Amino acid sequence: MGYIIENITVITWDDDRLKVLENATVETDGDRISRVGCGKNDAARRSGKIRIDGTGKALIPGLVNAHTHIPMTLLRSYADDLALHTWLFDHIFKIEDKLTDDDVYWGSQLGLMEMLAGGTTCFADMYYFVDRIAEAAAESGMRALLSRGLTNNEDKDDYSDDYRIKEAVETFRRWNGAENNRIRVAFAPHAIYTCAPKYIKAIRDTAEKLGAVIHVHVDETLKEHNNSLNQYGKTPTQHLYDLGLFDLPAIAAHCVHVTDTDMDLMMEKSVSFIHNPTSNLKLGSGIAPVPDALKKGINVALGTDGASSNNNLNMWEEINLAALIHKGARQDPLAVRAEEAFRMATANGARALGFNNTGQIREGFSADMVLIDLSKPHYLPEHNIVSNLAYSAQASDVETVFVDGRILYDKGEFKTLDREKILYNIKRVCERLFS
Amino acid sequence: MGYIIENITVITWDDDRLKVLENATVETDGDRISRVGCGKNDAARRSGKIRIDGTGKALIPGLVNAHTHIPMTLLRSYADDLALHTWLFDHIFKIEDKLTDDDVYWGSQLGLMEMLAGGTTCFADMYYFVDRIAEAAAESGMRALLSRGLTNNEDKDDYSDDYRIKEAVETFRRWNGAENNRIRVAFAPHAIYTCAPKYIKAIRDTAEKLGAVIHVHVDETLKEHNNSLNQYGKTPTQHLYDLGLFDLPAIAAHCVHVTDTDMDLMMEKSVSFIHNPTSNLKLGSGIAPVPDALKKGINVALGTDGASSNNNLNMWEEINLAALIHKGARQDPLAVRAEEAFRMATANGARALGFNNTGQIREGFSADMVLIDLSKPHYLPEHNIVSNLAYSAQASDVETVFVDGRILYDKGEFKTLDREKILYNIKRVCERLFS
């Protein structure tokens, strides 16, 4: 089984090269892209497949949301425009204390629905009740790197009784590699201010034994940065480097206040820099040094963070901001180019999360692809399609979403998620949570 | 003739107060809002009107794009990600030299289509071949403050033979107050670096005689700012103030590098500060001191600028950026609140452009209103609808657009513009322009 998409404009990163193919033909076979043909007269090789006419449409790799907390869709627009401390302690934590696994399941479903409708095919999540998030992700058919946020500030030598690490290990054993390897499980020491150094080391050692990836918040606020200097005499990045955390494949979310030396360490250890522009702006955290990271060759990917600090899971806004804010903040119109922002949201994201052979429209790669309707006024004239995607696209321009060669969303219709059921349950769980 | 919109959530600024009405009823009578009723049991007063069920929808004032150059849609995504000088001199100016009045007409039609589909009902434009822009605006049914950009660096005492001012006066006489006063004409000395001081004075005097509003670019780049200090020994704002330009009602676009003293002068003269966040970021101009302007009580409105420096005319992105970037740049999550950004794009815009009795959902005001579909996942849960609009809305959530009580756009359909004809002509004019 497979699809043949004809007369399509393919826009993809091909390793280090941006590739735009006009009038191309893309074929899938099962979960893979089996052929990418070029030119008007390129005929489809095999029949028996479902044909899709791509005229007036673009085919791009599925977007990768490389840092989020999807159940936090439940907290979207709850307690906005407040000082960080008030927001977190007086509002967010109070609700999170009341969350049940059922709430997390339905909040995840809402987030999955929003992501799919906007062309996101893959995401990296950090939260709790992760088994329920995995269940929702599996049902959706999306690709996900899931993790249990681990926090423990108690400094001790033995964490073998730590229930959080135990949970994380159980989740890893249950879900890592499930669903045709679409679901993988990472280990997530939450941040240096919520984890004692030895706790981070314990998590690191557990992850190493299991061969797991690391997902961690790094240097999000100036407060975190300065506290680290005071407490450890070094930056958060140097602290984590010295604990050996970055000896494992790692994604570091935020990196707003990383120094030049920190970025050298990240480059040395191939740590991925996950840029969350909306969240960093909205919470007043600052503007991450993305142009410098790019210059050093660091793998920069994009994330939305949770919906409560964004307030959505719309990766098009992150692409747009990644391409815009550094130009303005540095008064340099060349700071981050449109194609670089597009790469961050696709190929770089896939690489960060360790999903090999995804994130590009390329023979042999997973068929994680998105069809974009280019007929809207904001795509005209067609001078530069990559510019149009980075600066003008809306999530609603997404027409069809494929993951592993399967259509999960098509023209407003969810193929794996039950929209009405989700809306009903969101209302139900919110009535209890916020009453 | 009129409409009765029932069971609707109304979100509006009511002078200085944000007003959110649940289960309201809004009635129109001809071009006016004739009644805004509150509460579930509020029955419609009159029959014989067309009833619209507003369940699951919001009604907001039409968005006001307070600074744009709509024919520049023709240059969307043409020559992006270049240094400012290369972009302007090697690319943009070369194409603009070739533009005919026919090109400007079709470029305007494309821009009008994009604006209407995104809920913009009113805009302030500065360009040339303004009669053709006015013609397009009149056909669309939208509200517009149009102006001919005036440039002349020749310093002399008498500009009575200046063909540009003559054109502007003719356009004023032909169009000001036309179409039920939906079209008005401003005078636009382009900027201090393109106009000799005496030329600005001549424009000012002409505008004063005719009772016209001023539309001007102010302090967009650090280069403009420093050149002004060198050439005139004062800032661009002080220079224009001293020339008496701000004795007339004026909208000042950009204001990226205005000083604290400049803002005091703007406040003294009631000059509106038109914030163009996307354009200022994309061109690397910088980040305007909007939080300070708000603190002083200056009327801050929002604009997209032309599509070549944006690359769209999507006011939702400007609202989003206005609410986000100042928080991040100042590391202050309270810098600009969601409701302030929403106000900039509605009531403040209407006030800036001098369209009295527009920009609010209020009895006796012009029925310039937009219905928003709140059923999308990114609006759930419904904790705070203003937050959701500012941080999560997409232009595509716009369902119906009214201007002067008339529906101009409804569920993807343009009532006054011919989509196919516009797309055909855009293709035609671009083939010549860019060959």
Question: pLDDT tens, A390-428?
Answer: 999 999 999 999 999 999 999 999 999 999 999 999 999
Instruction: Summarize the confidence of residues A138-143 as an average pLDDT.
Output: 98
Whether residues B40 and B153 fall in one domain: no
Which DSSP symbol is given to A62? P
Partners of A338 on chain B (C-beta within 8 Å) are 80-81
Whether residues B285 and B237 fall in one domain: yes
**Over 80: is that where the pLDDT of B388 sits?**
yes
Query: Residue A17 sits in which domain range?
Result: 3-62+359-414
Q: How far apart are CA B329 and CA B300, in angstroms?
A: 18
Whether residues A17 and A76 fall in one domain: no
| pLDDT of the residue at B40 | 60
User: Within a domain: residue A39?
Assistant: yes
**Over 90: is that where the pLDDT of B256 sits?**
yes
Residue A286 and residue B328: Cβ atoms within 8 Å?
A: yes
Whether residues B14 and B68 fall in one domain: no
Q: What is the CATH number of the domain that holds A45?
A: 2.30.40.10
Residue A83 and residue B334: Cβ atoms within 8 Å?
A: yes
Please write the tens of the pLDDT for every residue from B259-275: 999 999 999 999 999 99
A175 phi and psi angles, rounded to 5 deg: -115, -20
Structure tokens at B364: 């006796």
Residue B378 and residue A222: Cβ atoms within 8 Å?
A: no
User: Within a domain: residue A434?
Assistant: no
Partners of B110 on chain A (C-beta within 8 Å) are 377, 380
| pLDDT of the residue at B141 | 98
| pLDDT of the residue at B42 | 63
Please name the member of B110, B284, B392 whose beta carbon is closest to the beta carbon of A331.
B284
**Over 90: is that where the pLDDT of B311 sits?**
yes
Whether residue B245 contacts residue B189, with contact meaning beta carbons closer than 8 Å, is answered with: yes
Structure tokens at B149: 């950009």
Whether residue B117 contacts residue A377, with contact meaning beta carbons closer than 8 Å, is answered with: yes
Instruction: Summarize the confidence of residues A189-199 as an average pLDDT.
Output: 97
User: Within a domain: residue B359?
Assistant: no
Helix (H) or strand (E) holding B379: none
Q: What is the CATH number of the domain that holds A218?
A: 3.20.20.140
Please name the member of B117, B313, B334 whose beta carbon is closest to the beta carbon of A81.
B334
User: Within a domain: residue A146?
Assistant: yes
Whether residues B237 and B289 fall in one domain: yes
Which residue type sits at A32? Answer: R
Whether residues A243 and A375 fall in one domain: no
| pLDDT of the residue at B41 | 57
Structure tokens at B261: 């003293």
Whether residues A308 and A285 fall in one domain: yes
Q: Is the dihedral of CA B393, B397, B398, B399 positive or negative?
A: negative
Which residue type sits at B426? Answer: I
Chain A nearest CA to B98, separation (Å): 17
User: Within a domain: residue B344?
Assistant: yes
Whether residues A381 and A339 fall in one domain: no
Whether residues B156 and B225 fall in one domain: yes
Phi-psi region of B178 (alpha: psi -120 to 50; beta: other; left: phi over 0): beta
Whether residues A172 and A223 fall in one domain: yes
Q: Which of A353, A378, A406 is the last residue of a domain?
A: A353
Residue A392 and residue B312: Cβ atoms within 8 Å?
A: yes
Partners of B317 on chain A (C-beta within 8 Å) are 320
How confident is the prediction for chain B on average, in pLDDT?
96
User: Within a domain: residue B195?
Assistant: yes
Whether residues A261 and A401 fall in one domain: no
Whether residues B221 and B326 fall in one domain: yes
Q: How far apart are CA A71 and CA A201, in angstroms?
A: 28
**Over 80: is that where the pLDDT of B54 sits?**
yes
A413 phi and psi angles, rounded to 5 deg: -105, 130
Please write the tens of the pLDDT for every residue from A202-231: 999 999 999 999 999 999 999 999 999 999
Number of domains in chain B: 2
Alpha helices in A87-162 (DSSP H): 93-96, 101-117, 130-140
User: Within a domain: residue A429?
Assistant: no
User: Within a domain: residue A118?
Assistant: yes
Partners of A222 on chain B (C-beta within 8 Å) are 331
Instruction: Summarize the confidence of residues A14-23 as an average pLDDT.
Output: 91
